[in-house]
Structure 1
Amino acid sequence: MIRLEHVNLVVSDMDAMLKFYRAAMPHWQVRGGGESSWYGKPRRWLHFGDDYSYIALSDNGEGGNRDLTGHQQGLAHFAFVTTDLNALRQRMQEAGYQVDKEGQSTEFRDNVYYIDPAGFEVEFVCYTSDNPQERNNYD
């Protein structure tokens, strides 16, 4: 079995990123962090997650993220599964974050997209079936 353990994001404002992801995933915590150097440039880093998955954040990022409406190479989005999409929507709204776009809901799946403070598109998906054929129906 292989599973995704973490995503490593270079950002300019780590505190803004933590605010966003804490609102989305209040059960996650800072697992560790510190200071280091990346090719001669000092940086602060941390791991935010649970015992099994996390987001690695490093600050001192330069420039902007790719244009999500364009066709440049790069990360399009990444997704997290939630068991309660309505609760996530409520937490995000209360924290001041608005839905960027609605997903293509089906009978067995509902999803929504947000843009985090670094400009990454983040999808949150909720499945209402444990049957893979229903969950992964692309018709």
Structure 2
Amino acid sequence: MLYLEHINLVVKNIPETLAFYQAAFPHWRVRGGSKQSWHGKQRNWVHFGDDYQYLTFNDRGTGENRDLKSTTLGLAHFAFATANLDALIERLNNVGFKRASGGEILPHRKNAYFIDPNGYEVEFVQYTSDVPSLRNEYIYPQESVSAIKGV
């Protein structure tokens, strides 16, 4: 079995970053952390998650994240599934984070996008069906997918 264990992110400030992710994941905790030298620079790191998945935050990030409206190479966004999107949005709003955009509300899923304190776009999605063919129903014509695949 293969699954995503963690995402390792370079951030500007760990406490500011934790404020966002603790609101999104109230059941997660800081699993551990320390200081280290990374290519001659000292930095702090923490693992934030549960016993099976986590996010690594490494501080002292410099510069700006990629322009999310561009086609510049780099991370576009990452997504997490939630059982209650409305409650998650409310928790993030309560700590000062506003929804950046929302995707289409489809018959079997809805989603919302937020920008974390470091400029990473994070999608949260709620599925309203356990049937994979319904959960993964796309609004794009099949011809478009065939053209992308080169079929």
Structure 1 runs, 4 residues or longer, greater than 3 Å off:
none
Q: What percent identity do the matched residue pairs reach? A: 53
RMSD over aligned Cα atoms: 0.6
**What residue ranges of structure 2 are gaps of 5+ in the alignment?**
140-151
* 1:121 CA displacement: 0.1
Q: Deviations over 1:69-112 (max 9, x none)?
A: 11100000000110000110111111111000011221100100
**What residue ranges of structure 1 are gaps of 5+ in the alignment?**
none
Structure 2 CA distance for aligned equivalents of residues 82 and 52 of structure 1: 16
* 1:41 CA displacement: 0.4
Q: TM-score, normalised by structure 1?
A: 0.98
Q: Give the partner amino acid of 1:42.
A: Q
* 1:62 CA displacement: 1.1
> Residue in 1 aligned with 2:40?
40
> Residue in 2 aligned with 1:15?
15
Structure 1 CA distance for aligned equivalents of residues 104 and 50 of structure 2: 28
* 1:43 CA displacement: 0.6
* 1:119 CA displacement: 0.2
Structure 1 CA distance for aligned equivalents of residues 6 and 87 of structure 2: 24
Structure 2 CA distance for aligned equivalents of residues 123 and 110 of structure 1: 10
Is the radius of gyration larger for structure 1 or structure 2? 2
Q: How does 1:26-65 map to 2 (within 5 A)?
A: 26-65=26-65
